[in-house]
C-alpha cells in the first residue's frame, strides 16, 4: 500500500527544519548507500553525527509518531535511520530497492517527507514502480509518501532549484504489507462505525477481530 499523508509537520516545524538545514553542513549521500545503490545515488545529506541532525531527527520522528493515519496504516515498532537529503540541479537517485536492514532494524516501510515546496524546483519526482506501472509523487512541503521498502523506486533528476527531503524507514509490528492493509481497513471501518453510532455490537466484533489478527501477525 502506498499512502500520501498531508501535514506531517506543522508550518512552524517545517519552517524551523528548513531554516536549520539552510545553515547545515552536507556531505556526499553515497556514504549511507548500499554497495549497489552507490552506483546510482547522487545527492548530498546532512552529516548524521552533527548536533543539528540529532535535533531535527527527533523533531521529525515525534511528528511521525503522533500522526494517527501513519500509526494505523503502518503500525510502527520503531522509526529509524532518518536522513535529510538535498538534490541540487543535475542530481538524482536511480532505480533501487532499500536495504532489508538499516543497522539492527528491519526496513518494512520507507517514507519521504517533502520539505521543499514543489513550486521551488523542477524535476525531482519520487517514482515508485508498481504492477500497474510507475507512479510519480511530488507533494507539498510538510507532507509524506509512505510505501513498502521492498518496492523499486527512484528520484528523477532535478532540473532547476533544489529538492529538500527527509527520508527514513520503519520497522512495523507486522512485516507483511498485505496483513498491514487488512488491519488498516478493519481499523478504518471500526472507527467510522464508532464515530457514527458509538460502541455498538458491530464495533465490538470488529475490534475483537482487529485485536486478534494483530496478536496473530505481530512480531
Residue numbering of the annotated binding site for Fe cation:
96, 98, 153
Distances in whole angstroms, Cα of residue 62 to Cα of each of 26, 35, 81, 160: 23, 31, 14, 32
Residue ranges for the known binding site for 2-oxoglutarate are: 163
Distances in whole angstroms, Cα of residue 18 to Cα of each of 11, 125, 167, 172, 200: 11, 19, 14, 28, 46
SS3 of 30-52: the string is: HHHCCCCHHHCEECEEECCCCHH
Name the burial class of residue 191, with classes exposed (0-12), middle (13-18) and buried (19+) by CB atoms within 10 angstroms of its CB.
middle
The contacts of residue 27 (CB under 8 Å, 6+ apart) are: 44, 45, 46, 47
Q: Which helix (H) or strand (E) holds 204?
A: helix 201-217
Residue ranges for the known binding site are: 96, 98, 153, 163
What residues are paired with 137 via a beta bridge?
126
Q: Nearest CA to 165 among 87, 70, 78?
A: 87
Phi, psi of 146 (to 5 degrees): -125, 135
Amino acid at each position: 500500500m502506498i499512502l500520501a499523508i498531508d501535514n506531517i509537520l506543522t508550518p512552524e516545524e517545517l519552517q524551523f527544519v528548513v531554516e536549520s538545514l539552510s545553515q547545515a553542513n552536507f556531505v556526499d549521500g553515497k556514504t549511507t548507500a548500499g554497495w549497489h545503490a552507490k552506483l546510482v545515488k547522487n545527492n548530498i545529506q546532512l552529516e548524521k553525527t552533527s548536533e543539528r541532525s540529532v535535533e531535527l531527527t527527533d523533531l521529525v520522528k515525534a511528528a511521525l509518531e503522533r500522526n494517527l493515519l501513519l500509526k494505523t496504516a503502518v503500525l510502527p515498532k520503531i522509526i529509524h535511520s532518518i536522513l535529510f537529503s538535498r538534490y541540487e540541479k543535475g542530481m538524482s537517485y536511480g532505480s533501487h530497492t532499500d536495504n532489508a536492514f538499516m543497522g539492527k532494524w528491519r526496513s518494512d516501510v520507507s517514507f519521504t517527507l517533502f520539505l521543499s515546496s514543489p513550486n521551488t524546483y523542477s524535476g525531482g519526482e519520487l517514482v515508485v514502480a508498481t504492477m500497474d506501472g510507475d507512479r510519480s509523487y511530488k507533494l507539498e512541503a510538510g507532507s509524506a509518501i509512505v510505501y513498502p521498502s521492498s518496492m523499486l523506486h527512484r528520484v528523477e533528476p532535478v532540473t532547476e532549484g533544489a529538492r529538500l527531503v527527509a527520508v527514513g524507514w520503519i520497522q512495523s509490528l507486522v512485516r507483511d504489507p498485505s496483513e498491514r492493509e487488512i488491519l488498516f481497513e478493519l481499523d478504518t471501518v471500526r472507527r467510522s462505525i464508532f464515530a457514527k453510532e458509538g460502541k455498538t455490537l458491530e464495533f465490538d466484533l470488529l475490534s475483537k477481530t482487529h485485536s486478534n489478527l494483530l496478536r496473530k501477525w505481530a512480531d
